[in-house]
Amino acid sequence: MSGRGGDLIKSIYPGLDRLGRVIYVGAEAALILGEFLGIRAIYKIRLPKPYRDPNLDLLVRSSRTKTEAKIMLFVRSLGVNVPTILLVDLDLALIVMEYIEGLLLRDLLSNLSPNLTCKLIRNVGSQVAKMHKAGVVHGDLTTSNMIYSNGRIYIVDFGLAKMSKSLEDRGVDVHLFLRSLESVHFNLKDLLFNCFIEGYENVLGSKAKEEILAKIHEIRLRGRYVEERRLKKRNYHSLVGSCED
């Protein structure tokens, strides 16, 4: 995938790959590790899409870049650990940010004691709660978007973040994170779930905790997460009966 994208970048942005090493190419943006004013930096650039009208393309890419940069700055002011922004160029749909050297939480989790893992996850819970409290949802909270560095957990990739106070959006945020935990730490998932919720409750209080738990439960009962839905249907059946399975 990165090979394909790497060639794509060269063809669209001649010279961009000379900025440094292309370390990741997603469907939307490429990450290049290089230098900026002597600091190791990540160049995150949203790639133009050949299928979009050029004006629309620029509009979409620059507005997403702007939102991302604004939200990163904002949550930083709330005390959430995010990379420092060094430069934003809307015409290029480019954000240059501090390079956080460390380990992805995803890779780290499997090598830690349950105790330490819990501590880190609790911290993630608090950071997420700080964002939610201020009306920011991250939109893609997974353990691959968290970096452990110098005793801190940094949250990265605000590409899908937005301002939202809706319980639905916050519920999806937390739900996604818990699912990403489950996929790595299946046997510890209940413990880690509680650690996260503890951290979340520490910042937002017990009422917000109950609300979000109820919402997550509701989200899990929807179509795509089949196992829990079957459980629900069984209960439902015993109550009223239904001709649909």
Partner 1 sequence: MVIILGIESTAHTFGVGIVKDEAPYIVADVRENYVPEKGGIHPREAALFFMDKAPHAIVKALNNSSLSMESINAIAVALGPGLGPCLRVGATIARALATYFNKPLVPVNHAVAHIEVGKLITNAKDPLVVYLSGGNTLIAALISGRYRIFGETLDIALGNFMDTFVREVGLAPPYIVNGIHQLDRCAEKGKRILNLPYVVKGQDVSFSGLLTAALRMYREGKADLEDICYTVREIAYSAIVEVTERGLAHTGKNEVLVVGGVAASKYLREKFELMTKSRNCELYVVPPKYAVDNGVMIAWTGLLNFKHGIVVKPEEAYVRQRWRLDQVDIPWSR
CB-based contacts of 232, cutoff 8 Å, min separation 6 = 221
Q: Does 90 bind partner 1 (CB under 8 A)?
A: no
Site for partner 1 in 58-77 (CB under 8 A): 59-60
Q: How far is the CB of 230 from partner 1 (least distance, A)?
A: 11
Q: Which of 153, 148, 147, 135 is nearest to 70 (CA)?
A: 135
Please report where in the chains the tokens 């292309």 appear, as a residue: 22
10 is written with which tokens? 């060269």
Sign for the pseudo-dihedral over CA of 133, 134, 140, 143: negative
Exactly one of 17, 57, 107, 140 is catalytic; name it. 140
Q: Using the rule CB under 8 A, give the single segment among 54-62, 75-83, 121-129, 201-209 that binds partner 1.
A: 54-62
CB atoms within 10 A of CB 187: 8
Q: Using the rule CB under 8 A, give the single segment among 53-61, 81-89, 107-115, 141-149 that binds partner 1.
A: 53-61
Site for partner 1 in 116-175 (CB under 8 A): 139-140, 160
140 tagged catalytic: yes
Nearer to partner 1, 51 or 111 (CB): 51
CA 225 to chain centre: 20
Q: Using the rule CB under 8 A, give the single segment among 110-118, 185-193, 194-202, 223-231 that binds partner 1.
A: 223-231
Q: What are the residues facing 36 on neighbouring strands?
A: 39
Q: Does 52 bind partner 1 (CB under 8 A)?
A: yes
165 is written with which tokens? 């106070």
Residue 208 one-letter amino acid: A
Q: Does 26 bind partner 1 (CB under 8 A)?
A: yes
Positions touching partner 1 (CB under 8 A) are: 1, 4, 8, 26-28, 49-53, 55-56, 59-60, 139-140, 160, 223-224, 226, 243-244
